[in-house]
C-alpha cells in the first residue's frame, strides 16, 4: 500500500453508525460536526436509532443492518463487546462493495480480529477506541482532547489515522497483543479513580459530611493533584505521609480505619504499598524507612479486627452487604 494514498475515496466519507448508545451518540455527533455525512443509524431498538438519526440528520434509521445504504464507506460499530462477533457476521449479508468499505469497532478490549467475517469479504478493518469515559448524556465535546486507540492491519490503521485527523483527534497505535494491557491502563485510570472516590465518600459519610458537600470540598484538591500529575508525573506529584515516611500518621490512619471503616483496611494497605514503591522510585523515600512503613502496613492487614460490639461501631447494613 502506498502510505501517502488515502484509504477513503473522499475526505469526508459517508458513514453508518451501528449502536445508538453512549459511544454511538457521541461519535455520530462528532462526525457530523466535522462534516462527515451520517447516512444511517442502525440500533437494536428502532426508536433509539430514530432519535439519533434525527439529531445528526441521517436519512436512514433502522433496527436492521440491511438498511445500510450502498454508498456508505465507513461502518462504525458502537455495540457492546459481546455483540461484535454476531454483528460482524450479520454484516456480511449486507450488499455493500466491501473493497471500498472500512469497518471499525469502538471497543478498547476486543481486537479487530473479531471483524474477520467482513475482512474476508474484502473490507478494511480496525478498532477505533475513543479513550474517554462516555455516558448517554454526553455530547461531541466529551471527545475534546481525547485520544483514539487504533489497532488493526496496516490498511485499517491508515483509515483510522485519516479518520482521527479528520475529527481533530489525537491517536495512538496499539499492537493487537498489547490491547489487554492498553485497556487495563484505561480501566485502571478511570474505574479505579471513581472507586477510590467512592471510598473517600464513605470516609466523609462516617464524619456526617453530606456526600455532595464532601465531593465539592475535595474538588480543589483533586484538580490541584491532576494539574501536578499532568505537569510533573506521579513520582513528583505524590505528597502525604507515605512519601514523607511518616509512620505515626499512617498508624493513626490505620487505627481510624479499624475503628470506623474496617472494610476499607485491605484497600488502604494495598494502595499504600504501591505508594511506597512510587515514593522509593522517586528517590524521595529512603529504602530503610520504606521497610518501616511496609512493616506497619503488613500489621494493619494481619492484625485481626476486634469482634463486633467491642471497640468497633456497627457497620451500616448496605456497606456490610456491598
Ligand atoms: N461508554 C464508554 O465510556 C466507552 C468508551 C470507549 C469505548 N466503549 C466501547 O464502545 C462500545 C459501545 O459501548 P457503549 O458504552 O456505547 O454501550 P451502550 O451505551 O450500551 O450502547 C450500545 C448500543 O448498541 C446497541 N446494540 C446492542 N446490540 C446490538 C445489536 N446486536 N445490533 C445493533 N445494535 C445493538 C444498543 O441498542 P439499543 O439501545 O438500541 O437497544 C445500544 O444502543 C463497546 O464496545 C464499549 O466497550 C465504551
Find residue 172's DSSP bridge partners.
Answer: 149
- Model pLDDT, residue 210: 86
155 vs 124: CA distance, rounded Å:
6
The DSSP output letter for 245 is T
Q: Using most ligand atoms within 8 A of CB, pick from 25, 28, 43, 47 the residue to mutate for ligand 1.
A: 43
150 vs 111: CA distance, rounded Å:
10
102 vs 72: CA distance, rounded Å:
9
Q: Is the dihedral of CA 224, 229, 231, 237 positive or negative?
A: positive
64-73, 105-114, 149-158, 299-308, range with the lowest pLDDT: 299-308
Q: Which of 57, 111, 113, 116 is nearest to 91 (CA)?
A: 116
Dihedral angle of Cα 249, 253, 254, 258, to the nearest 10 degrees: 150
For 221-278, write each residue's pLDDT tens digit. Answer: 999 999 999 999 999 999 999 999 999 999 999 999 999 999 999 999 999 999 999 9
**Ligand 1 atom having least distance to the Cα of 132:** 5
Nearest CA to ligand 1 atom 25: 19
- Model pLDDT, residue 309: 60
Q: Using most ligand atoms within 8 A of CB, pick from 18, 44, 65, 87 the residue to mutate for ligand 1.
A: 44
Ligand 1 site residues, Cβ closer than 6 angstroms = 18-24, 42-45, 48, 78-81, 83, 86-87, 106-108, 129-130, 132-134, 136
Q: Are 245 and 286 in contact (CB under 8 A)?
A: yes
Nearest CA to ligand 1 atom 19: 21
Q: Is 39 left (phi over 0), alpha (psi -120 to 50) or beta?
A: alpha
Q: How far apart are the first and last CA of the chain?
A: 54
For 166-224, write each residue's pLDDT tens digit. Answer: 999 999 999 999 999 999 999 999 999 999 999 999 999 999 998 888 889 999 999 99
- Put the strands of the sheet holding 147-151 in their side by side order: 60-62, 38-42, 15-18, 74-77, 102-105, 124-130, 147-151, 170-173
| All three cell numbers of 115 | 471483524
- Model pLDDT, residue 248: 97
**Percentage, residues of the chain above pLDDT 90:** 90
Print burial letters for 212-247: b (CB count within 10 Å at least 16), e (below 16).
eebeeeeeeeeeeeeeeeeeeeeeebbeebbbbbee
The CA 30 to ligand 1 mean position distance, Å, reads: 16
Nearest CA to ligand 1 atom 29: 44
Amino acid at each position: 500500500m502506498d502510505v501517502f494514498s488515502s484509504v477513503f475515496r473522499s475526505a469526508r466519507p459517508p458513514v453508518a453508525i451501528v449502536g445508538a448508545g453512549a459511544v454511538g451518540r457521541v461519535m455520530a455527533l462528532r462526525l457530523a460536526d466535522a462534516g462527515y455525512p451520517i447516512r444511517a443509524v442502525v440500533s437494536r431498538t428502532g426508536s433509539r436509532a430514530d432519535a439519533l438519526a434525527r439529531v445528526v440528520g441521517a436519512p436512514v434509521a433502522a433496527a436492521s443492518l440491511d438498511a445500510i445504504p450502498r454508498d456508505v464507506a465507513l461502518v462504525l460499530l458502537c455495540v457492546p463487546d459481546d455483540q461484535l462477533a454476531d454483528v460482524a457476521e450479520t454484516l456480511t449479508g449486507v450488499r455493500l462493495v466491501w473493497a471500498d468499505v472500512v469497518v471499525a469497532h469502538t471497543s478498547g478490549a476486543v481486537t479487530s480480529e473479531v471483524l474477520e467475517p467482513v475482512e474476508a469479504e474484502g473490507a478494511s478493518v480496525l478498532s477505533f477506541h475513543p479513550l474517554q469515559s462516555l455516558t448517554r448524556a454526553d455530547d461531541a465535546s466529551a471527545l475534546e482532547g481525547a485520544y483514539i486507540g487504533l489497532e488493526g492491519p496496516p490498511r485499517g490503521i491508515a483509515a483510522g489515522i485519516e479518520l482521527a485527523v479528520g475529527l481533530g483527534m489525537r491517536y495512538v497505535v496499539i499492537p493487537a497483543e498489547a490491547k489487554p494491557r492498553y485497556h487495563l491502563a484505561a480501566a485502571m485510570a478511570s474505574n479505579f479513580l471513581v472507586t477510590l472516590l467512592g471510598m473517600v465518600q464513605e470516609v466523609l459519610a462516617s464524619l456526617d459530611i453530606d456526600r455532595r458537600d464532601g465531593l465539592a470540598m475535595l474538588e480543589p484538591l483533586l484538580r490541584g493533584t491532576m494539574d501536578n500529575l499532568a505537569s510533573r508525573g506521579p513520582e513528583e506529584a505524590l505528597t502525604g505521609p507515605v512519601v514523607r515516611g511518616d509512620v505515626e500518621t499512617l498508624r493513626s490512619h490505620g487505627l481510624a480505619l479499624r475503628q470506623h471503616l474496617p472494610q476499607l483496611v485491605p484497600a488502604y494497605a494495598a494502595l499504600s504499598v504501591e505508594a511506597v514503591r512510587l515514593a522509593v522510585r522517586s528517590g524521595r523515600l529512603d529504602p530503610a524507612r520504606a521497610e518501616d512503613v511496609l512493616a506497619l502496613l503488613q500489621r494493619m492487614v494481619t492484625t485481626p479486627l476486634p469482634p463486633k460490639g467491642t471497640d468497633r461501631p456497627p457497620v451500616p447494613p448496605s456497606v456490610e452487604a456491598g
